[in-house]
């Protein structure tokens, strides 16, 4: 068995679904089920004995200790995180609590569990920490992409909290010998993503004829990674990664936000034309967010060279699958888009206004 934390979130849910399509090894899924932890994303696993969902916090040491002792997983994969930069600007404390303190508590219980294992199980055990390229800060237009040795320079409360968690994971390897692995990924997109993030927000707003808000001039550049490719990379790192190592995971798809939105609009024009005209007419420029990093780019050659992973999807194939999925799953989208999501949009975009 493996223990996955945050397995009802966007990346975690995709990872579990892919894992159980490929393997019979059971998954114990610990998720706090906050706004972004959606059990409906795992509805296809209802009645599947290989998946056990436990509602709980990675910071609850007694719960984590009990789960580890009862289920005896061979690996812990930590997806659990507060993960949206804008939310961290409006309320940083949750990010410190979950991403820093929560990871610390999880590491402490994993260390205690690991130290009590027989020698062979100790050697085989892994703690895999899923992190972000945002810990590296911002790149200029001509700077080389981030590598695993790029100095950390986080610029938001979110990225600072993830940087702190990465440092804790590294320290537990060097101090205690805990066999850890860390992955730092670029921007994920794909099915089951909570519609506060750029791509699903644009799809949802466009299909409703609402403005498509773009920060600043829309030329902030990100490297886009299809979520199933990310999941395949994590499986490769878990299976073959060297303890103590970090692996950058990127899609080799650097694109400005404005180009992303225009691509989504063009696909919607093709798949669901709007009688009122091209969806790009809805693009609206809004005031930029504080400390908005200009460019991220990932050098993913290490994971290719050492573990044989590279993305299977191009951006063209991945974004087409993504738009199609959201159009084909309106029930999931509508249920996710109620309540908390609308409250969030009002909080984040109120007062920005069109530029």
For the annotated catalytic residues, the residue numbers are 133-134, 158
- Give dist(CA 18, CA 229) in Å, integer: 10
- The tokens 């190592």 sit on which residue? 245
Report, in this order, helix, strand and coil percent for the chain, each rounded to 5.
50, 15, 35
- Give dist(CA 225, CA 105) in Å, integer: 30
Edge-to-edge strands, sheet with 221-226: 187-189, 221-226, 254-256
CA distances from 120 to 82, 125, 170, 255 (A): 34, 9, 22, 46
Euclidean distance between the first and final Cα of the chain, in Å? Answer: 52
DSSP letter, residue 152: P
- Give dist(CA 295, CA 279) in Å, integer: 26
What six digits make up the tokens of 182? 């860390």
Residues 79-98 as b or e (16 or more Cβ within 10 Å = b): bbbbbbbbbbbeebeebbeb
- Give dist(CA 247, CA 224) in Å, integer: 16
């Amino acid at each position: 068995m493996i223990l996955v934390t945050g397995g009802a979130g966007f990346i975690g849910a995709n990872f579990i679904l892919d894992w159980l399509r490929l393997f019979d090894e059971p998954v114990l899924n610990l998720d706090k089920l906050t706004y972004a932890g959606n059990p409906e994303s795992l509805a296809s696993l209802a009645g599947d004995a290989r998946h056990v969902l436990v509602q709980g916090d990675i910071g609850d040491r007694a719960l984590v200790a009990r789960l580890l002792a009862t289920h005896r997983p061979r690996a812990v994969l930590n997806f659990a995180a507060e993960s949206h930069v804008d939310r961290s600007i409006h309320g940083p404390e949750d990010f410190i609590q979950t991403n820093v303190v929560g990871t610390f508590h999880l590491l402490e219980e994993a260390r205690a569990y690991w130290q009590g294992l027989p020698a062979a199980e100790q050697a085989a055990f892994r703690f895999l920490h899923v992190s972000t390229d945002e810990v590296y800060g911002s790149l200029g237009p001509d700077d080389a992409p981030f590598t695993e040795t790029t100095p950390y320079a986080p610029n938001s409360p979110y990225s600072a909290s993830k940087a702190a968690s990465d440092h804790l994971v590294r320290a537990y390897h060097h101090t205690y010998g805990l066999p850890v692995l860390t992955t730092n990924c670029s921007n994920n997109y794909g099915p089951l993503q909570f519609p506060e993030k750029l791509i699903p927000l644009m799809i949802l707003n466009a299909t409703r004829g609402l403005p498509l808000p773009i920060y600043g001039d829309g030329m902030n550049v990100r490297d886009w990674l299809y979520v199933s490719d990310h999941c395949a990379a994590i499986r490769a790192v878990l299976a073959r990664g060297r303890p103590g190592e970090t692996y950058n995971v990127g899609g080799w798809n650097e694109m400005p936000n404005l180009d992303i939105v225009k691509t989504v609009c063009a696909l919607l024009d093709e798949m669901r034309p709007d009688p009122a005209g091209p969806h790009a007419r809805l693009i609206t420029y809004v005031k930029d967010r504080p400390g908005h990093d200009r460019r991220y780019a990932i050098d993913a050659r290490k994971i290719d060279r050492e573990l044989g992973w590279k993305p299977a999807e191009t951006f063209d194939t991945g974004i087409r699958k993504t738009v199609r999925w959201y159009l084909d799953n309106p029930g999931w989208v509508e249920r996710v888009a109620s309540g908390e999501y609308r409250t969030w949009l009002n909080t984040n975009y109120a007062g920005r206004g069109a530029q």
